[in-house]
Structure 1
Amino acid sequence: MLDLVYTPFAEYEFMQRALVGIIAIALGGGPIGVFLMLRRMSLTGDAMAHAILPGAAVGYLMAGLSLPAMTVGGLVAGVVVAVAAGLVSRFTALKEDASLAAFYLLSLALGVTLVSLRGSNVDLLHVLFGTVLALDDNTLLLLASISTLTVLALAVLYRPLVLECVDPIFLRSVSRAGTPTHLIFLGLVVMNLVGGFHALGTLLAVGMMMLPAAASRFWTGDITKMMLASVLIGMVSGVSGLLLSFHVELPAGPAIILSAGAVYGFSLLLGREGGLLWLAWPGKHLEA
């Protein structure tokens, strides 16, 4: 049994690189997903994941499958869509969720169209679903840098982020940090989605943010523990998904997200904080 787990990572360099990349994504994306969930912005993350596609596609048209070009393009597109959706919701009668939905649909259609103009079906699949088993040194360095910057930024912004989740009105009454914190947080969301895009593609990148975060909510109500649990769940999902892909010959990206989904289902059923089993039988025999 141990050989099934150890051998793929010990003998194959592409599995080692994929493992390092997934760990980096889990370290940065897990805590971001927790705050997205607590701020009721889970679907915002999904919309932003698709918003980066046109920028990445423009980078692809200009320089091919170039890491710098697609990264810069994705970052610019994500920031533009976030700002545009905010301005639409601020100056019109349309709410932010509706404006994000509109931009999300337009971004997805535009991005797929741009990639199709030059690339083959293989290139389109690369953009949509990523190539986690083909990460090079530059991509791993990018993922590690994004993860490090995210952890440092969250450490600095932890208090205002938590306050904004719990009582945003109180935060606005005692400090002017609310708006800058929100904008920096959206920037971190875009950065982590761009990093996840290179490994898992635009359609699956948000999965490593939201599924571990949602699963962690069923095990603890403490935000710090929730962040740690989401990182751990993301890492476990990444390892199990890579092993599933290796042994059963499944696409690696979808296998990782399916593994995260399995952990979410397990947590939904057995989690101590609102799991279905604990809600159905809340008696003392289930208490620690």
Structure 2
Amino acid sequence: MIAWFEPFIEFAFMRRALVATLALAVGSAPIGCILVLRRMSLVGDAMAHAVLPGAAAGFLLAGLSLPAMSLGGLAAALLVALAAGFVTRATPQREDASFAAFYLIALALGVLLVSLRGSQMDLMHMLFGSVLAVDDAAMLQIATVASATLFVLAIVYRPLVLESMDPGFLRSVGGPGARVHAALLVLLVANLVSAFQALGTLMAVGLMMLPAAAARFWIASLPAMAALAVGMGAASAVTGLLLSYHAELPSGPCIVLACGLVYVVSVLFGLRDGIVTRRWASSSHLAA
């Protein structure tokens, strides 16, 4: 068993990847839980894809520069969020349809921009990331975003939960509903941008949403759900990194697949509405 964990002891790049993914789990899993609570899970996926054109524009201007690509990704994702929100307010179209439309446009534009100057390897790096190549700048960015996320969530927790559960009441008492919603979107985008270097635009949302969706099947309380989601994300990160090392597989997909396994187990055996658990309770009730 100890030999299984030796890569973290022997190789610095494995330790860096571990620290980066653990920090991503700490920052992004609570955001994922709030999105699940607000039934905005697909918005996270849309925002992850919306990062690509801005990151691609930063790549065209400055090459593989983390600050340029991060700023470009942040600007592009926020622009998509604003555009989707405007269409939702100005037309009868629902918010999820607006986000879906704009993220598809953003994804296609991003791939096109990368293909103008980059190679196939550059495109693969942007889409799937390279967690084993995380450098000091990326680790500092991930740690900073994770710390800021927890700090901001602690400040806006009460109005954020109230706005998620009963936005009409919050508006009636003059609460900061719009500002809280905007803060949530900014935190969402910031966490996706920080995960971009490690997991790419296609994989970044996996560490955010899968543990959160899995935790929903075990615990009802939001703080406990967030803590459990962080633990699930951290365990999946460790498992995925070790699996990728020993089996010589890509690290990002292994981490997300480990999260997916946790989700499937939770769907089947979770204490709250798990399929097997619910059927077992129903059969026990009938037998009694």
TM-score scaled to structure 1, two decimals?
0.97
For residue 281 of structure 2, give the secondary structure of its aligned residue in structure 1: coil
Which piece of structure 1 moves more, 171-180 or 250-259? 171-180
Which piece of structure 1 moves more, 84-93 or 119-128? 84-93
Paired residues of 2:159 and 2:175 also in contact (CA < 8 A):
no
Structure 1's 97 and 284: CA in aligned 2 closer, same or farther, altered over 3 A?
Answer: closer
Code of the residue aligned with 1:72 in structure 2: it is: L
Corresponding pairs, count = 285
Task: Give percent identity, aligned residues only.
Answer: 56
| Residue number in structure 2 paired with 1:48 | 47
Mapped partners of 2:242, 2:59: distance in 1: 30
Mapped partners of 2:174, 2:135: distance in 1: 43
Give the CA deviation at 1:96. 1.5
Mapped partners of 1:54, 1:224: distance in 2: 34
Unaligned runs of 5+ in 1: none
Give the CA deviation at 1:153. 0.4
| Residue number in structure 2 paired with 1:34 | 33
| Residue number in structure 2 paired with 1:72 | 71
For residue 193 of structure 1, give the secondary structure of its aligned residue in structure 2: helix
| Residue number in structure 2 paired with 1:278 | 277
Give the CA deviation at 1:241. 0.2
| Residue number in structure 1 paired with 2:252 | 253
Q: Output one character per residue of 1:38-61: Cα deviation in whole Å (capped at 9) or x when no partner.
A: 101000110111111100000000
Paired residues of 2:128 and 2:252 also in contact (CA < 8 A):
yes
Q: Output one character per residue of 1:8-49: Cα deviation in whole Å (capped at 9) or x when no partner.
A: 100001100000100110011000000011101000110111
Structure 1's 40 and 109: CA in aligned 2 closer, same or farther, altered over 3 A?
Answer: same
For residue 211 of structure 1, give the secondary structure of its aligned residue in structure 2: helix
1:99-248 matches, cutoff 5 A? 99-248=98-247
The answer as to 2:19 corresponding to 1:2 is no
Give the CA deviation at 1:3. 1.6
Structure 1's 152 and 277: CA in aligned 2 closer, same or farther, altered over 3 A?
Answer: same
Give the CA deviation at 1:176. 2.6
Q: Output one character per residue of 1:164-203: Cα deviation in whole Å (capped at 9) or x when no partner.
A: 2221111111233101000011000000010111110000
The alignment yields a C-alpha RMSD, in angstroms, of 1.2
| Residue number in structure 1 paired with 2:86 | 87
Code of the residue aligned with 1:84 in structure 2: it is: A
Code of the residue aligned with 1:241 in structure 2: it is: G
| Residue number in structure 2 paired with 1:15 | 14
Give the CA deviation at 1:94. 2.1
Moved over 4 A (4+): 283-286
Give the CA deviation at 1:151. 0.3
Mapped partners of 1:69, 1:201: distance in 2: 15
Give the CA deviation at 1:283. 6.1
TM-score scaled to structure 2, two decimals?
0.97
Give the CA deviation at 1:115. 0.5
For residue 273 of structure 1, give the secondary structure of its aligned residue in structure 2: coil
Mapped partners of 1:252, 1:44: distance in 2: 25
Mapped partners of 1:93, 1:175: distance in 2: 26
Code of the residue aligned with 2:117 in structure 1: it is: R
Which piece of structure 1 moves more, 178-187 or 96-105? 96-105
Structure 1's 187 and 248: CA in aligned 2 closer, same or farther, altered over 3 A?
Answer: same
Which piece of structure 1 moves more, 88-97 or 77-86? 88-97
For residue 175 of structure 2, give the secondary structure of its aligned residue in structure 1: coil
